[in-house]
Chains A and B, each alone.
Chain A
């Protein structure tokens, strides 16, 4: 530990050219403080119906967050793109004996906040309520009925369908969603991750009420649900609440595993013509999944390349040094059955070819060389020093619980993650990045008035011997 800190001091001096002694004067004091990283006390059990419960007691505020996370996202749409999203949108639009007006008033009279949403892997139902029983109990009773016994009223179905179709039309006014969908399709093709979760102008009109009823019966089952709870209730109360919610859901087991997505074996290029002033570009490939043993190495590698905001290489090179973009970033998105590595940027049309070439160059160089020791040390300091921010409030914690429960991660996942970050070497990152991403096999999808020039596959004029001292 000491040794590492001494190394860091040297690094700091190197890049604070003004000298460590003068600025920042508080640096020594702050560096000596060991940043607190509170451990979450997660309690977990199963309801009799098979729902996995994740609970963190927090008495700081008189409130309770409840989140139901079902393995019922767009990946389960089958041949009806948008089915999961439409099912989710109709949760809260009618339940046994209750109209949509009754439901809306029922939550809002009690100051409770209810929402539902659908993603690629997950369908999520969330409730935030005051924890005192006179407010909490009616809201939870209503939640159980809304989640467990939705009626999918035909008039609500038509209204929601129209809203979703109008939303899809509005997406065609702007470049971002269009290029995103084309990228997703090119990357994943016929795999369950290959279609837009919001459905299409062609698919939404074909979805019938019975499809929604069946989908709910099949996928909103207790055995296919994680129930996360954070707030001011006791363990005994949490057990009763979780059991009631589990009992209210259709009884049944977990959804079958999805087939693992495969990476594209070659470069694939696609351009959409659109009269925008900027060209949006997405580059990437299928690269990882939730169980990937290289998860931490890829996470940290990506932080250095393009995930670390202003500290990242891509932001420094493409934005700060050249002013090509307002935003450029990269990410791995690990999901149950796959997870793309993606770099996204938007630039004035005249810069598109240069910005794309530069970005590809940076990706290639990073994958070939890995980070420097200095870059890795900075990334570790950021990630480990900022752990306290990841679990600072109930809103943060419920999000962590949902992910840990849904992806069946160990309860001490965050501590293990920290330890793995500490142990990581430059070679680990280099090996993981090389294994996950082949820079010659990226999908490159763009939208704008004109396609950017596609750089040759080997654009780096072997600067590799120069290292990273720029």
Chain B
């Protein structure tokens, strides 16, 4: 194992997080952005390509298209038959996969480091020469329908969550599930996938990230060789998806085949990209840490342990998004506790924060965990590639990751209180109560028909 040659000044913790590994950034003439993170501790590389195209970019009639296209990226190109891409990756000791999110679609390969040229050539091949065959498309659509059954249709909590999001994020691309509404997904056609590919899979809409045991000198000529001749392309205009002014208080009650009830609460709040004052992002991050930054934070201490209302509960801020962010609570009650009691307890937590700033100890604990996480995060080459790719794809500077700790340090306890007052308010909140629905005895037969889950129609 090679040892990282970076001077680490161990005396001061703040310097630990700043022991930055070399990161290089450049663009090709066609607009492809390239980020290289050098980390030579082990002879491995991660190669990722990120496209600014996710399910928020889908029109209402084409939900699920971004994700289905992601699947089709493995189904053949001019030079590769269906599945051959992954077989070549495997043959050279690598692993590969991809993921589709609301905001982006990303593809990755992980290898021993001598495989770099192959990784780049393979990635360029499908960007240049993807071929979507009608028959392959329909076969893969069946696979994705199975994926949807497995992840969502047979899991009442996942069904509840998808219905909840539809109400919690109205009028934005975040309101439909990434995998697509079942009926619409089933109707997707190959020409829609081809159109999606042409719209978004162009160099000027992509970031290539290479992390691990590489140097910029190795990477530059290879990227130029494999990606340089691709035309820049152009993408359609995309508006900013902001939920301002607030949509108003929303509430839904869902009856589903759950055995344990559940409560979801989401506030529409700014993200780092939509916030007028970026400090809102850092303040909401601290607020989430005070509520649920660990087993010593308020949710676990007060709700799970102290009042013992919840079997499980959590709070989180999703602020790294292209559109507005969310501040979300989820909880499952203990037996003999009603969802209304649980809801009241969560609202009491919000009210307490809006009235009284968190203690100095709480603020310090959140900062300690962030400081340590910045070191831990460096343990994984994939983790580093993820961080660079995500920030770049959201239109943010990758250097923000290094400034994260310093920006959090500027947040005061009073700022946290003020953020609770400003953002965690009724008119920004959606609440869902998920309650058991007893199934009729003969359902095994009924479940075969589409009517088994009428709420899905």
Question: Do residues B92 and A30 form an inter-chain contact, with CB atoms below 8 A?
Answer: yes
Set of chain B residues within 8 Å of A349, measured between Cβ atoms: 447-448
A108 to B296, CA, bound (A): 7
Chain B residue numbers with a CB within 8 Å of A113 are 372, 376
Contact B257 A173 (CB under 8 A): yes
Q: Are A24 and B88 in contact (CB under 8 A)?
A: yes
Of B141-149, B169-177, B231-239, B322-330, which binds chain A? B141-149
Confirm or deny: B400 has a beta carbon within 8 angstroms of a beta carbon on chain A.
Answer: no
Pair A325/B452 contact, Cβ less than 8 Å: no
Q: Please tell me if the beta carbons of A26 and B260 are within 8 angstroms of each other in the complex.
A: no
Contact present for B376 and A63 (CB under 8 Å): yes
CB pair A276 B154 closer than 8 Å: yes
Q: Is A417 an interface residue, CB under 8 A from the partner? A: no
Q: Which residues of A contact B115 (CB under 8 A)?
A: 30, 33, 35, 385
Is the CB of A453 closer than 8 A to any CB of chain B? no
A324 within 8 A of B: yes
Contact status of A449 and B381, CB under 8 A, knowing A38-B42, A60-B41: no
- Assuming the A-B contacts A35-B112, A162-B335, are A62 and B296 also in contact, with contact meaning beta carbons closer than 8 angstroms in the complex? no
Q: Contact at B375–A62, with CB atoms within 8 Å?
A: yes
Which residues of A (320-347) have their CB < 8 Å from a CB of B? 320-327, 346-347
Determine which of B112, B117, B368, B444 lies in contact with A26 in the assembled complex, contact meaning CB atoms within 8 Å: B117
Q: How far is the CA of A167 from the CA of B150 in the complex (A)?
A: 20
How far is A225 from B70 in the complex, measured between Cα atoms in Å?
A: 45
* Measured CA separation A59–B91 after assembly (Å): 32
For A111, the chain B residues whose CB sits under 8 A away are: 368-369, 371-373
Q: Which A residues lie within 8 Å of B444 (CB)?
A: 273-275, 449-450
Which of A69-77, A191-199, A391-399 forms part of the interface with chain B?
A: A391-399
The 8 Å CB contact of B375, one of A25, A61, A378, A384, is A61
Binds A, one of B304-312, B343-351, B414-422, B424-432: B304-312
- Contact check, A169 vs B260: say whether CB atoms are below 8 A apart: yes
Q: Chain B residues near A276 (CB, 8 Å)? A: 154, 447
What separation, in Å, do the CA atoms of A382 and B93 have in the docked complex?
4
B1-9, B191-199, B202-210, B263-271 - interface stretch: B1-9
In angstroms, Cα B3 to Cα A41, docked, is: 13
Q: Does A17 contact B (CB under 8 A)?
A: yes
State whether B139 touches A323 (Cβ < 8 A).
yes
Whether the pair A388, B445 counts as a contact (CB closer than 8 A) is no
Partner pick for A378 among B87, B293, B443, CB 8 A cutoff: B87
Contacts of B373 in A (CB 8 A): 111
Which of B78, B294, B452 makes the CB contact (< 8 A) with A104?
B294
**What's the least CB distance linking B92 to chain A, in Å?**
6
Complex alpha-carbon distance, A386 and B368, angstroms: 36
CB-defined contacts of A378 to chain B, threshold 8 Å: 87, 90-91
Q: Which of B25-33, B99-107, B118-126, B391-399 contacts A (4 or more CB under 8 A)?
A: B118-126
Residues of B within 8 A of A449 (CB): 443-445, 447-448
The residues of A that contact B42 with a CB separation of less than 8 Å are: 38, 388, 391-393
A46 interfacial by beta-carbon distance below 8 Å: no
Main secondary structure of the interface of A (DSSP, over half): mixed
| Chain B residues near A104 (CB-CB < 8 A) | 294-296, 300-301
CA distance A129 to B16 in the complex (A): 13
Cβ of B301: which chain A residues have Cβ within 8 Å of it? 101, 104
* A347: chain B residues within 8 A (beta carbon): 146
Taking the complex as formed, is B248 at the interface, i.e. its CB lies under 8 A from any CB of chain A?
Answer: no
Cβ-closest chain A residue relative to B43: A36
In the complex, chain A residues whose CB is within 8 Å of the CB of B311:
162-163, 166-167
Judged by a CB distance under 8 angstroms, whether B258 is at the interface is: yes
- Closest Cβ neighbor of A450 among chain B residues: B444
Q: Among the interface residues A109, A326, A395, which one has the most CB atoms of the partner chain B within 10 A? A: A326
The reply to whether B155 and A174 contact each other, CB–CB distance below 8 Å, is yes
Residue of B whose beta carbon sits closest to that of A388: B112
Q: Does B113 contact A (CB under 8 A)?
A: yes
Number of A-B contacts (CB under 8 A): 281
Per-residue CB contact flags for chain B residues 184-227 toward chain A (1 = under 8 Å, else 0) read 00000000000000000000000000000000000000000000
Output the nearest chain B residue to A350 by Cβ-Cβ distance: B448
In the complex, B13 has a CB within 8 A of chain A: yes
B95 engages A35 (CB within 8 Å): no
- Please, how many angstroms separate the alpha-carbon atoms of A316 and B143 in the complex? 12
Contacts of A29 in B (CB 8 A): 117
Roughly how many angstroms separate A22 CA and B365 CA in the complex, as a whole number? 57
- Bound form: Cα–Cα A105–B366 in Å: 11
A389 to B42, alpha carbons, bound, how many Å?
9
**B375 neighbours in A (Cβ, 8 Å):** 61-63, 130
* Contact residues in B for A165 (Cβ distance below 8 Å): 335
Tell me the complex Cα distance, A216–B404, Å: 42
- A62-B10 contact given A30-B117, A104-B294, CB 8 Å threshold: yes
Chain A residues near B156: list those with CB within 8 A. 173-174
B442 and chain A: residue at smallest CB distance: A275
B111 touches A130 (CB 8 A): no
Q: Does A309 lie within 8 Å of B90, measured CB to CB?
A: yes
> In the complex the two chains form, is A110's CB within 8 Å of B439's CB?
no
Taken together as a complex, chains A and B put the C-alpha atoms of A391 and B2 apart, in Å, by 12
A170 to B16, CA, bound (A): 42
A165-B335, A174-B155, A175-B154 known; 20 other A-B pairs, CB under 8 Å?
A16-B79, A23-B80, A33-B114, A40-B1, A108-B293, A162-B311, A166-B260, A277-B452, A309-B90, A319-B143, A346-B146, A381-B91, A383-B93, A385-B115, A392-B42, A392-B381, A393-B42, A394-B379, A449-B444, A449-B448
Instruction: Identify the A interface with B (CB < 8 A).
Output: 12, 15-18, 22-27, 29-30, 33-38, 40-41, 58-63, 92, 100-101, 104-105, 107-113, 128-130, 132, 135, 159, 162-163, 165-167, 169-170, 172-175, 273-278, 308-311, 316, 319-327, 346-350, 378, 381-389, 391-395, 449-450
Interface residues of B (CB under 8 A from A): 1, 3-4, 8, 10-11, 13, 16, 41-44, 74, 78-84, 86-88, 90-96, 110-115, 117-118, 120-122, 125, 139-147, 149-150, 153-157, 257-260, 293-297, 300-301, 304-305, 308, 311-312, 332, 334-335, 361, 364-365, 368-369, 371-373, 375-376, 378-381, 439, 443-448, 452
What would 21 A/B residue contacts be, using CB atoms closer than 8 Å? A63-B376, A100-B305, A104-B301, A111-B371, A135-B372, A162-B334, A162-B335, A166-B332, A174-B154, A275-B439, A276-B447, A277-B153, A278-B149, A310-B96, A311-B90, A323-B140, A348-B146, A349-B447, A384-B93, A387-B93, A392-B42
Of all A-B residue pairs in the complex, the 5 with the closest CB atoms, nearest first, are A385-B93, A111-B372, A323-B142, A33-B114, A310-B86
